[in-house]
Amino acid sequence: MLDQLPRMVDAWLGSLSRQGGGIGTRGPGETALEMDRRRIKERMKVIRKQLENVRGQRAQHRASRRKNRLPSFALIGYTNSGKSTLLNRLTQSQVLAKDLLFATLDPTTRKIHIPDGPPAVMTDTVGFIRKLPTNLIEAFKATLEESADADILLHVVDLSSPQMPTQVEVVNGLINEFGWNDKPIIHVFNKVDQAPFEKQFQVKAFPRVFVSALTGEGLDRLKRLMLEQIQALSTEVELFFPRESEHRIFDLDRESKIVKREQGTTGTLLRAALTPALITRWQEFLVAADHTSI
């Protein structure tokens, strides 16, 4: 909208010259110009307020997910690499997926089921590019907040693109710039159905998987890698559930892998693999290191 203001000024100055407006006068053209400027500025204020409201809502959603202690994945990658199509495949969703620049601007989060894994969520984000248009910076910042909060990143790469090396370099540079190097990253090379087989030998990133979000090829392997990454974040701990709280074991079994179970007269002692977030969630049942009997 800001870029419309200079053109409006030129248009209305031309109108003033035809209407006889001059120095020291306040013709109808000048009044209309001021009204249009005011409308645009008011509209910009409304949009900024809406962006702030959306950012606040997203922050609440992220806080809710942290409270529920769900492992989270974020899809990142160069624009048009197939992230939205991959999200749809993995979560059985119907998120907009088009061959367009910035088809996804609003981060979309969906639940994902990983066999033998705990419930998790996955977020689709705006595609990266070398130079971001100024008028998309606010939307881009908002989507980056989702990626920064994720436990694990999925870097989706268009294997069929002639510019694949450059696109990978751009995304890796942004990962470094945003300080995400300490996050686990799975490199997902998409569109194997469209790429020559020999292109797979040009890939050096690890851990990696070759998939087609369009046909479903390689998605089982991707899910296994995702489970491995969740498990890598986990630590085996002991938990004790008194008789009156043993019904909670059902919830724990849905969220984690119970390795060992020992039932006693006063309750049940378990050994389970928990992520740091789940350890916080179940801390009231954690057993001290010197616990020896139940």
- Is there a single domain that holds both residue 54 and residue 113? no
- Is there a single domain that holds both residue 177 and residue 227? yes
- Is there a single domain that holds both residue 199 and residue 222? yes
- Is there a single domain that holds both residue 33 and residue 93? no
- Is there a single domain that holds both residue 133 and residue 200? yes
Q: Residue 23 above 50 pLDDT?
A: no
Long-range contacts of the stretch 285-292 (C-beta < 8 A, 24+): 285/239, 285/240, 285/241, 285/245, 285/248, 286/237, 286/238, 286/239, 287/237, 287/238, 287/239, 287/240, 291/238, 291/240
- Is there a single domain that holds both residue 156 and residue 210? yes
- For the CA atoms of 86, 90, 93, 94, what is the dihedral angle to 10 degrees? 20
Reported as a pLDDT band with limits 50, 70 and 90, residue 291 is: very low
The residues facing 263 across adjacent strands are 268
223-251 confidence digits (pLDDT tens) = 999 999 988 888 899 999 999 999 999 98
Q: State the residue range of the domain holding 102.
A: 70-232
Q: Is 290 a member of any domain?
A: no
Residue at a domain's end among 19, 43, 66: 66
Cβ-Cβ contacts under 8 Å for 200 (sequence gap 6 or more): 159, 189, 192, 210
Could you tell me the pTM of the whole model? 0.64
Q: Which H or E run includes 87?
A: helix 83-91
- Is there a single domain that holds both residue 169 and residue 246? no
- Is there a single domain that holds both residue 206 and residue 251? no
Reported as a pLDDT band with limits 50, 70 and 90, residue 130 is: low
Q: Is 247 a member of any domain?
A: yes
Name which of 180, 90, 196 is nearest 144 in CA terms.
180
pLDDT of residue 225: 95
The residue that leads in pLDDT, 94 or 96, is 94
Q: Is 131 a member of any domain?
A: yes
187-224 confidence digits (pLDDT tens) = 999 999 999 999 999 898 889 999 999 999 999 999 99
Count structural domains, the chain.
3
CB burial readout 2-11, b (16+ within 10 A) else e: eeeeeeeeee
Structure tokens, 50:
């809406």
The residues facing 267 across adjacent strands are 242
SS3 per residue for 148-194: HHCCEEEEEEECCCCCHHHHHHHHHHHHHHHCCCCCCEEEEEECCCC
Q: Is 74 a member of any domain?
A: yes
Q: Which H or E run includes 261?
A: strand 257-263
Residue at a domain's end among 18, 44, 66: 66
- Is there a single domain that holds both residue 86 and residue 191? yes
pLDDT of residue 17: 45
Q: Residue 289 above 70 pLDDT?
A: no
Q: Is 294 a member of any domain?
A: no
Q: Is 246 a member of any domain?
A: yes
61-90 confidence digits (pLDDT tens) = 555 545 556 788 989 888 888 888 999 899
